[in-house]
Structure 1
Amino acid sequence: MNTEREQIISAARSLFQRGLTHGSTGNLSVRVGDRVLVTPTGSSLGTVEAAELSLIDLSGAHVAGPKPSKEAFLHAALLRARPRANAVVHTHSTHAAAVSCMDGLDPADALPPLTAYFAMRVGRLPLLPYFAPGDQGLGPAAEEAARTHSALLLSNHGPIVAGASLGAALDAIEELEETAKLFLLLRDLPTRPLSQEQRRALEPSNQAQ
């Protein structure tokens, strides 16, 4: 379990240092057998230490360590929905959070496939309804959506991504953030997203179920 702890801390520092999280926002988790290591409540990804990580089970119940993030139940929901996923990353990254506040988005497909890498690493991005942070009502909605999508956008909140590994989840959430940035930069300009045929040829085939 020490290796998984080190991976989480390394990823946490990277996200924080590059401005993909701020303050005490964002949380990470890694599956370890039938348990899940997750960052604790109130922690900053810039300073959290390996010994401070929490352990929960797949129902979201606290097993050991400090009190887990109030969104730990959400990590458990995605991991239940996607048995081949081994990590979940949730951030409040600026551009993805900005898109999550916009009106008129397609709730089944919040961002267009502007680049091949978005189609490959993210696929389609459902927009979930607004729930207050920590509201357990988000769990069932996220679990249902995650059965067919590895990445979700939480309204007025931010993105959450499950991946086969922590590295894969990080790659996907960073690609999501960069595509959100492109989307906002190009908002008033004519764009040429990938065609449906091009997109289907690239979309992940539920690789982290």
Structure 2
Amino acid sequence: MNRVEQSQQIIDTCLEMNRLGLNQGTAGNVSVRYEDGMLITPSGIAYDQLTEEKIVFVDADGKAEEGKLPSSEWRFHQAVYMARPELNAVVHNHAINCAAVSILNKAIPAIHYMIAAVGGNDIPCVPYATFGTAKLSEYVAEGIANRKAILLQHHGLIAAEENLAKALWLAHESEVLAELYLKLLATTDNVPVLSDEELAVVLEKFKSYGLRVE
């Protein structure tokens, strides 16, 4: 896709994220890998006010195109792309259940086999750092190294995938798992989880499972 098409896909993803109840207001941000950098949502503009011209290109050195202000979180988007060359899209949001689990500073464990969609047996929670900082980007790079979705303590969720459709799908699956986990925590301190052995089987099956979007 060319830049205009990718920019429109970013906008469509943002609007769908809000429609699904995964985000609100100007919170969250979305990007795709593009040329030697990325295209990312701008800072402080409501999603329903976005146009293709407002999407910002940030190069590999972190320099935004002149006259445009990228999302304040552009650094951790860049960190994801550097850590995971095979992933081409990042969705970040403040989905209620994911944010709630992040405030508890808990990983979402293997309560359901769909946890395998993130590439491991949990959705880890990386330590808190002020939004937009290099320190937060460092934590993100560490957390995303072997997972496709991570929680940010006292903040929200990052989901990364091959393309935007898959990244949004993964963000939605992660929010469902977070909601389920919170409901279980309300009933017991000893939440049952699947074994590592069973998760290994599921992870192997997931190599050919998931949203089929090219």
Q: State the TM-score, normalizing by the size of structure 2.
A: 0.86
SS in structure 2 opposite 1:63? coil
Equivalents in 2 of 1:180, 1:202: separation in Å? 19
Read off the aligned partner of 2:63 and give its amino acid letter: A
Instruction: Give the aligned residue type for 1:198.
Output: E
Moved more, 160-169 or 84-93: 160-169
Give the equivalent residue in structure 2 for 1:197: 197
Q: 2:22 aligns with which of 20, 24, 37?
A: 20
2:56–2:68: 8 Å Cα contact kept in structure 1? yes
Distance in 2 of aligned mates of 1:10 and 1:174? 15
Shift, 1:64, TM fit: 4.7
1:113 corresponds to: 110
Matching residue of 1:56: 58
**Which amino acid in 2 is paired with 1:180?**
A
CA deviation digits over 1:91-143, x for unaligned, max 9?
Answer: 0000000110115x3xxxx0012222222245332211111112221112211
Give the C-alpha shift of residue 47 in structure 1.
3.0
> Higher helix fraction: Structure 1 or Structure 2?
2
Identity across matched positions, percent: 33
Amino acid across the alignment from 1:179: L
Amino acid at match of 1:21: N
The answer to which of 177-186 and 138-147 deviates more is: 138-147
CA contact (8 A) 2:118 2:149 kept: no
What is the aligned length? 200
User: Deviation at 1:65?
Assistant: 5.6
Distance 1:4 1:201, change over 3 A: same
Tell me which residue corresponds to 2:73.
Answer: 71
Q: Give distance in 2, aligned partners of 1:9 and 1:184.
A: 30
Q: Which amino acid aligns with 2:110?
A: P
Structure 1 counterpart of 2:149, from 151, 160, 171: 151
Q: Is the 8 A contact 1:85 1:164 kept in 2?
A: yes
| Alpha-carbon separation, structure 2, partners of 1:26 and 1:50 | 18
Would you say the 8 A contact 1:128–1:142 is kept in 2?
Answer: yes
Q: 1:188 aligns with which of 178, 186, 189?
A: 186
Q: Which residue of 1 aligns with 2:4?
A: 2
SS in 2 for 1:66: coil
The one of 36, 43, 46 equivalent to 2:45 is 43
* Paired residue secondary structure (2:134): coil
For 1:92 and 1:58, locate their aligned partners in 2 and report how far apart those are by CA, in whole Å: 26
Structure 2: runs of 5 or more not aligned: 208-214
Matched, 1:178 2:180: no
In 1, the alpha carbon distance for the partners of 2:115 and 2:51 equals 32
User: What is the root-mean-square deviation in Å for CA atoms of aligned residues?
Assistant: 1.8
Separation in structure 2 between the aligned mates of residue 198 and residue 65 of structure 1, nearest angstrom: 52
- Counterpart of 1:33 (choices 35, 54, 58) is 35
The 1:77–1:59 alpha-carbon spacing in structure 2 relative to 1, beyond 3 Å, is farther
- Structure 2: how far apart are the matches of 1:32 and 1:96? 28
What CA distance in whole angstroms lies between the structure 1 residues aligned with 2:38 and 2:30? 10
Distance 2:92 2:140 in 1: 13
2:88 — aligned with what?
86
Taking the aligned partners of 1:17 and 1:35, their CA distance within structure 2 comes to 28
Structure-2 separation of matches of 1:9 and 1:122: 27
